[in-house]
Each structure stands twice: as structure tokens, then as C-alpha cells.
Amino acid sequence: MPRDLTPSTIENTFVLKALTERIRLDSRSFNQLRDLDISFSSTDYGVVDVKLGRTRVIARISAEITQPYADRPYDGLFIISTEISPMAAPTFEAGRKSEDELVISRIIEKSIRRSGALDTEALCIISGEKCWAVRADVHFLDHDGGLMDAACIAVSAGLLHFRRPDITIVGVGSRREVIVHPITERVPVPLAVLHVPICVTFSFFDVRKASAAIAGLPGKDNMKEADDDDVEEENDSSTAVLVDATLQEELLRHGFMSVTANTNREICQIQKGGDMPVEVGKLLSCSEAAIMVAEKVTKLIKKRLKEDEARRNVGNLLVEARAENDR
């Protein structure tokens, strides 16, 4: 039975009152991300452990050969599975999709699959007969807010890290055979990742509603003066925008918007739910902030990938073992 995670009234008023004074409980600034740690498995390719603050998510990428869909013979398959179990938080039920889970899985679908992060045409082996089916399994270990963001980072990093076995096609015509080379024989091949989508969630708080919730306490009607580097417009200070909310902030927020961006200054998807109407200029500045976050996170992913490559590739033997010619 799922447990409700509603916070107590005291917690509510404390967090909201702090927000009206521009304080977040973990003393971050309003547009600061939590500490992000990305680590790759030292034994398997394509296993990523992402820690965003206290939120922990593991993504596992695997590939197998299968038959393509009949109406898309030139494309491989790419499936993302994001089942949330009660391990993440007691509010999730095993086997039943809660509304939060639906939102998370749809946004990850749109961010990664629909935006074409993975080139599915490159997964085709023999058109109409054989293709690679890449599967991304996301396991949510700990829920402290930002499940979407952490999952997106994990899958993107996993796709960049994963190596599939090299294959050769022998024979001609209808008697073609695919030989899959084990990684002990041939160096495995990376996937064709076209761009790295990073999802950023912005949480909106209506300060007027917050002030009403803490009625009786001495408070301010509007926020204190916005700092220069905060994502706010000077003339509309009745809406507070928080980047990367913790679970407590998530439960108390009045609305949210999730923006997926990449380093090419492209916005892959925007989902702003109907919870709280927000002025349109604010939404635009949030999208711009998302691009900056995407750049920072992509840089970190690439740095960790390089470190992992160095750890695996001691003495640069992998370069010698490659079967491809230098062109």
C-alpha cells in the first residue's frame, strides 16, 4: 500500500517562510544544482551510477540482436524502462503506475527517445531482418527529488559509455549470417549518440500563496531583492523559481516545468504542467538557464568518461587491439 508523503504543516510553513526570505534549507542559491556525482562500473560497459544530492539512480544499457519492426525495416529498437519500485520511496507501488511515475517516464521518453539522442538507423544490421535492440533500464534507488533529471543524466551517460559487440556479416543474399565477436576477440564498438540531452526541472512557488499559508507569522508580501545571477525578472517577484528541488521542496511546490536541453543550444522538450500559471518571460529565462546547466553537466559526463577510459585502457592497449584501419 503506498504511503502518502505529505509533509507536516510545520515543515510546510518553515520551508515556505525561508523561501520568502530567499533561503533554501540546504543553503543553495535558487539556481544552483546539487552535487552531481557520476560513476561508471569498472567491469561492465553501460552501467552508470548517478547521485544528484541524495537522489540515486542507476542506469544499465544492454543490447541484443532482434528483428526490426515491419514498418521500419531500417531502424533498430531503443527501449527505455523506468519502473519505479518502493525502494525509491514508499509512495511508489510495485507494478502500478502512479501519476508521478507516468510523468517521469513520459518526460524521459520525450527527452531521449523522441529527440533522437540515439541514432536508431545505425543499429540496423540487415534491413528487415536483423537489428540491434538497445535497452536502457533505469533503477531508482533513492528519491530525494529530481528523479527525472537524474534518470536523464544516467541514461545519456550510459549511452555514451556503452559498447556493443562488433559484428561481421558473412555470405550473400538470403544466406547471410551475422557473426557476433565477443569482447575478448574484438574491441567493442560505441553507439552512435547524436546529442546528449540533459533534463532540468524548475519548481515554481507562488509567494502570495506561500504567505497565505504562513498567515500569522510576520512575513513579507513580495520576495527580497533578486540577486543578479538568479533566474528572475525584476518586475515579477511574486513567483520564486528553484532549480533542482529536493523531495521536500518538490512536495511543497505549486508548479513545475521540466526542460531538456543539450550543448547545441537546442531545446529537446518542454513540459510545463498546469499546476500554476507562470508569466511567459520567466519560462523563457528558465529555458535559457537549462542550456547552461546542460553544458555544465555534459562537461562533467565527458570528464568522467575520460577518466573511466584511462582506468580501463592502461597502457593504451585498446588502441592496438582495434580491428579498424586508420583512415
Determine the Cα–Cα distance for residues 238 and 220; give it in Å rounded to an integer: 11
Report in angstroms how near the CB of residue 53 gets to another protein at its nearest: 26
Report in angstroms how near the CB of residue 245 gets to another protein at its nearest: 17
The smaller minimum CB distance to another protein, of residues 225 and 288, is found at: 288
The smaller minimum CB distance to another protein, of residues 6 and 67, is found at: 6
Cell triple for 25: 534549507
Site of interaction with another protein (CB under 8 A):
99, 102-103, 105-106, 110, 114-116, 257, 261, 265-281, 283-284, 287-288, 291
Burial-class residue 326 by CB neighbours within 10 Å (0-12, 13-18, 19+): exposed
Report in angstroms how near the CB of residue 253 gets to another protein at its nearest: 12
The smaller minimum CB distance to another protein, of residues 122 and 276, is found at: 276
The smaller minimum CB distance to another protein, of residues 55 and 115, is found at: 115
Buried b (16+ CB within 10 A) or exposed e, 179-206: eeeeeeebbbbebebebbbbbbbbbbbb
Determine the Cα–Cα distance for residues 63 and 77; give it in Å rounded to an integer: 9
**Bridge-partner residues for 134, per DSSP?**
63, 78
Residue recorded with cell 543553495: 28
Residue recorded with cell 523522441: 114
The smaller minimum CB distance to another protein, of residues 189 and 213, is found at: 213
The smaller minimum CB distance to another protein, of residues 168 and 264, is found at: 264
Contact 259, 149 (CB under 8 A): no
Which residues have C-beta within 8 Å of that of residue 17, sequence separation ≥ 6? 210, 214, 217, 219
Report in angstroms how near the CB of residue 109 gets to another protein at its nearest: 8
Report in angstroms how near the CB of residue 214 gets to another protein at its nearest: 16
Report in angstroms how near the CB of residue 321 gets to another protein at its nearest: 37
Q: Which of 225, 233, 164, 153 is nearest to 196 (CA)?
A: 153
